Structure 1
Amino acid sequence: MRSILTLRSIIIVLFFLSLNVSLYAQVKPRNLKKHIQYLSADKMNGRETGKEGSHKAADYVEKYFKKYNLKPMGEDGYRQSFEARVTKVKIADSLRMSDNIIGFLDNGAEFTIVVGAHYDHLGTAEIGGSRDSLGVGKIHNGADDNASGVAGLLELARHYTSNDTTEPFNFLFIGFGAEELGLIGSNYFTNNPTLPLADIHWMLNMDMIGRYQEQNGGLAIIGHGTSSAFPAIFEGVESSIKFFTSKDGNGGSDQTSFYKKDIPVLFFHTGGHDDYHKPSDDEHRIDYQAMEAILNLGIDVIDNSMEQPKMDFQWTN
């Protein structure tokens, strides 16, 4: 009887241990909220490139890359520094310093999946870009653009470093700087890569994933035409949210820099809204339930892509 009870106890313990690992790896809305609240708080002053708020955002991304034991893959630790210039308006301090924050999950694989999101925003709009005619001087917190994408980046990093699985692909997680000044961070990386571009399986970019709008078709997944493998990858993929695919690899965000280097890309985006590039893009407007579904969908797509051999590239225009 004692041996039977012992065996039964062991089975129960193993079951709950495996359950705990699984639950730890799942997307956690409370983490998303914590990240977005921090990044879009007034004290960040809109995360303008080259200013204190943007540097704090970069530090925040680096802190979590360290926490998740990602290998530094910048040019100086996690950092890849570059110069960015404000060109939309004439301003005295037009030349700014910024950083890409780069962490590597080394699974000993031949090829690597890149996951990226930009952490900068407009600050108080002295650098241009505000859609509010009276917005200059007001903090543009950028909760959706793009604290939401950074929160997704950090949750996917946590998932793939805590799911108790050695994946058949490596992962490169990148927080891009200076996207709002013209995709400067991602363009700098693709021209100065810290791992060979030929080793990249594909790239996922998340920019503005926090304002799900079912009436407008739901989540836009742009870049579906950039590899002949994507139709097979999406076969059977389902979600609690609506989503649609678009073929083009170009677009107003960082995946474009990879597409121009013949790398398959996807861009997750919940679309424009009245608060885009306005001081009213605040955290309380974020749809966390939809964000959770979007990231779970992203995990399904990533996992399916790892069943494919090295993906080919297709131009879409």
Structure 2
Amino acid sequence: MRCVGEVWYKDIVCRNQAKIVLGLMYLVDLLLFFLDTYMWYIICNCIFSIGRSFYLGISILTPWRNIFTRLPKRIYSKILATTEMEIKYKPKVLISQIWNAIVISMYREHFPSEIEGKRTLRAPTFFVSQDDNNFETEFFPRNSEAERRISFFAQSLATPMPEPLPVDNMPTFTVFTPHYSEKILLSLREIIREDDQFSRVTLLEYLKQLHPVEWDCFVKDTKILAEETAAYENGDDSEKLSEDGLKSKIDDLPFYCIGFKSAAPEYTLRTRIWASLRSQTLYRTVSGFMNYARAIKLLYRVENPELVQYFGGDSKD
């Protein structure tokens, strides 16, 4: 094979032709690989998002101690406009009202189980627990709605937020929820009947299997309400009924089956609300928006205790 060469590079190109061609092929391959900008955009975006989440404290890998042990201080600094208060109260007094309202709202929706406790002004062990396993096993059932709400609330307060404004200075807003012909609150027939002829499971049975702890809390609360109603209606005969066995008179089977024994509207409505809150997205949306007014009233009561006391504790004034 003749390799004469040329003026500038002599016979270098000719003798290394195979290596040069192979190198050019690799170079073109790498060039096409690195020109895939979308892949590198995804990689850079993931790296940036991970770093940003750690910086904001919203990563699932963030230790619980950094999120929950600082939650009382963040409630005081990021929710309450304490700088505008004329009378300075201890942070524990103000924080306890916010925290108690959150816990009571979850009890009303039957998320956590009933826990015996005393009314004492002290920080719950929930805030000072340093063990991740304690949070999962002691306070809430694992992967429950109560755990999700508290975790989301704590992680939200860990993010940068603007300075809180007093309730009097907050801008007003209105919320519209378009629903067209979709039902907001499910009817009792839709809850306890079978969906079709091929199904043997009702919506209520499905929800009971999906949320067993919450259903048990709901049944216990309904039984207590039924016992109190029966004792009130019987008046002086309540002791006699208790001796005869009031609990045996109120059979537990209907409660655990459909959530009520009496067909009174106040009992059937409770079951409808319980099922709609866990299956109907529109009802969850409307219920969440309705909590805005309660939250604003709560903030006003906490930030203006002297006005509330002046008007006799009526927050509407």
Q: Under a length normalisation based on structure 2, what TM-score does the superposition of the two structures give? A: 0.22
Q: Which has the larger radius of gyration?
A: 2
Q: Which is richer in strand? A: 1
Structure with bigger RCO (C-alpha 8 Å, 6+ apart): 1
Q: Which is richer in helix? A: 2
Q: Under a length normalisation based on structure 1, what TM-score does the superposition of the two structures give? A: 0.22
